[in-house]
Amino acid sequence: MYEALRKGASVETLSAKTHIKKYFIEQMKDLVGLEERILQYKKKKMPDELLAQAKKDGFADKYLAQILGKEEEAIRKQRQALGVTEAWEAVPVSGVENAAYYFSTYNAPDQVPTSQKPKVMVLGGGPNRIGQGIELGRRRWLGRGKTHGFGKFVRRPEGGAGQQHGSKRLQGGTDRGRCVDARETQFARAWTP
């Protein structure tokens, strides 16, 4: 669809053929227009305000370097010199206190405090989206006994729909067997095999 817009297809035609709402196609058309403006600076230095806008609209340094015929490091250095760096935002996890999923953005100030505590980074977490409810799969993995010393196992009633921890009931799946306590569940959000 991106290429069709670039080649002049109308929003109305694409909406009629794909049944995608016009609003979303118009958003894509805006990105095509921005990329066309960026391409005017092939082999030249892109203006700072255009680079900042490209980052806010989701263009990766690598992609910008590719379409401009430049080194990725040159794009990155120019961006960083402008103070355009990713910020992190938290999305609270439903039913769990003091736990969140994080995503990076160029459209907001950094809202995630940092500390000197040891951290775990999940690489290749898969195609999960925020709010998709991936806790179930992590609980199943942890329920196989890989707790790495984080608390104790608690037995869930057969066919139970979640785990018990104090007076709070954490929503989850109906897998059978053992489940981990809340400390392990929070660890699981940072560690996925």
Comparing CA positions, the residue from 155, 160, 161, 148 lying closest to residue 181 is 155
Q: Please, what are the averages of pLDDT over each run of 10 residues along the chain (193 residues)?
A: 94 95 96 96 94 95 95 96 91 79 86 85 63 49 41 41 39 38 40 40
pLDDT given for residue 96 in this prediction? 79
E strands of 9-167, at which residues?
87-92, 100-105, 153-155, 162-165
Nearest to 9 by CA among 38, 31, 17: 17
Give backbone dihedrals phi and psi of 180, rounded to 5 degrees, phi first: -100, 160
Cβ count within 10 A of residue 148: 8
- Domain positions in the chain are 2-81, 87-114+128-190
**What does the pLDDT read at residue 146?**
39
| Residue 31 to residue 1: CA distance in whole angstroms | 12
Cα separation of 40 and 31, whole Å? 15
pLDDT at 100: 80
Q: Which pLDDT belongs to residue 119?
A: 82
Domain over 2-81 is classified CATH 3.30.1490.20 = no
**Is the entire prediction scored with pTM above 0.75?**
no
CA distance 25 to 10: 9
The full 3-state SS of 4-40, as one line of letters, equals HHHCCCCHHHHHHHHCCCHHHHHHHHHHHHHHHHHHC
Residue 90 dihedral angles phi and psi, to the nearest 5°: -105, 145
Which pLDDT value is given to residue 132?
Answer: 57
| CA separation for the pair 143, 56 (Å, rounded) | 40
pLDDT value at residue 142: 42
